[in-house]
Amino acid sequence: VRMPVSFTVNGERRELELDARTTLLDALREHLKLTGTKKGCDHGQCGACTVIVGGRRMNSCLSLAVMHQNDEITTIEGLGKPDALHPMQAAFVRHDGYQCGYCTPGQIVSAVAVLDEIGAGIPSHVQADVAAAPEASEPEMRERMSGNICRCGAYSNIVEAMRDVAG
Ligand code: FES
């Protein structure tokens, strides 16, 4: 069954008519040619397909595109451009937060969302302390990033990049 769906991706309104079984990941990659978002496992286990939907990160391989009517979706392409990197992208470069790079878009999208989550989860007067002492929240960063798998094992550099942005 084909169904129409309309959502906003990286600030741009997109209208598609898709097989109702198309995942959000395939809609982004195959139909909108936004191939920054990666397909690792296609089963919700690796995090390579992470995107932000309505301010919350999700594995786009686990969601049907037609369920996202009118949603606001941000992919890695929406965070920064090669000549104007998002601070998290720049920090990944500075700290070598990748090796082969395949998981990197998902790691960066997730890392951006995690810092928002950590900030949103505590009272504003405490947030300043967290920013001043980023090591205090490192275990929580690691825990919240645990759904993003890196087979090269760049985890410590990824956390360094996150601490850099948080601090
Ligand atoms: Fe979606 Fe692995 S491709 S979690």
Structure confidence at residue 56 (pLDDT): 94
If one residue of 24, 45, 150 were mutated to test the ligand 1 pocket, choosing by the most ligand atoms within 8 A of its CB, it would be: 45
Which pTM was predicted? Answer: 0.90
The CATH superfamily label for domain 2-79 reads Beta-grasp domain (3.10.20.30)
Q: Are 61 and 52 in contact (CB under 8 A)?
A: no
Q: Which atom of ligand 1 is nearest to the CA of 149?
A: 2
Query: Class of 87-166 per CATH?
Result: mainly alpha
Structure confidence at residue 87 (pLDDT): 95
Structure confidence at residue 125 (pLDDT): 52
If one residue of 29, 61, 103, 104 were mutated to test the ligand 1 pocket, choosing by the most ligand atoms within 8 A of its CB, it would be: 61
Please state the three-class secondary structure of the chain as a single string: CEEEEEEEECCEEEEEEEECCCEHHHHHHHHCCCCCCCCCCCCCCCCCCEEEECCEEEEHHHCEHHHHCCCEEECHHHHCECCECCHHHHHHHHCCCCCCCCCHHHHHHHHHHHHHHHHHCCCHHHHHHHHHCHHHHHHHHHHHCCCCCCCCCCHHHHHHHHHHHHC
Structure confidence at residue 119 (pLDDT): 79
Structure confidence at residue 137 (pLDDT): 78
Please tell me if the CB atom of residue 151 comes closer than 6 angstroms to any atom of ligand 1. Answer: no
Structure confidence at residue 131 (pLDDT): 54
For ligand 1, the distance from its centroid to the CA atom of residue 101, given in whole angstroms, is 15
Q: How far is Cα of residue 3 from the mean position of the Cα atoms in its chain?
A: 26
Residue nearest to atom 4 of ligand 1 (CA): 44
Tens digit of pLDDT at every position of the chain (167 positions): 999 999 999 999 999 999 999 999 999 999 999 999 999 999 999 999 999 999 999 999 999 999 999 999 999 999 999 999 999 999 999 999 999 999 999 999 999 999 988 875 545 555 555 554 455 578 989 999 999 999 999 999 999 999 999 87
Q: Is the ipTM of this complex over 0.90?
A: yes
If one residue of 23, 24, 38, 43 were mutated to test the ligand 1 pocket, choosing by the most ligand atoms within 8 A of its CB, it would be: 43
**CATH 1.10.150.120 residue ranges for the chain:** 87-166
**CATH 3.10.20.30 residue ranges for the chain:** 2-79
Q: How far is Cα of residue 72 from the mean position of the Cα atoms in its chain?
A: 14
